[in-house]
Amino acid sequence: MEKVCPVCNEIREIKHICKKCRENMVDKGRTQEYFDDYSADDPINDKGDYCVHVFKCTKCSSIENVNIKKIII
Ligand SMILES: [Zn+2]
Ligand SMILES: [Zn+2]
């Protein structure tokens, strides 16, 4: 058995709604891949059971970090 992020592995799509304007936010990938100031092998955002993704609002472009709970496959 293995713990994987369902979003990274395209098992499940996560819907996230913008707190400001209630529009759909789109997944921009894992936090450390989105922000340049993290090196790729920096484990700072690997919280064990969670994978941290960046979601961006399609309307107001605000950005939120979302903890995606890993599932066991
Ligand atoms: Zn992920
Ligand atoms: Zn918004």
To the nearest 10°, report the CA torsion of 29, 32, 36, 37.
Answer: 160
What is the pLDDT, as a whole number, of residue 33? 73
Give residue 59 CA to ligand 1 midpoint distance, Å.
23
User: How far apart, in Å, are the Cα atoms of 47 and each of 50, 58, 60, 69?
Assistant: 5, 27, 28, 10
What is the pLDDT, as a whole number, of residue 9? 94
Give residue 25 CA to ligand 2 midpoint distance, Å.
7
Ligand nearest to the CA of 22: 2
Average pLDDT, the chain: 85
Q: Which domain holds residue 32?
A: 3-72
* Counted domains in the chain: 1
- Phi, psi for residue 2 in degrees, rounded to 5: -140, 140
pLDDT in tens, 31-66: 877 666 555 554 544 558 899 999 999 999 999 999
The confidence band for 25, taking pLDDT boundaries of 50, 70 and 90, is very high
Alpha carbons 65 and 73: distance in angstroms, whole number: 24
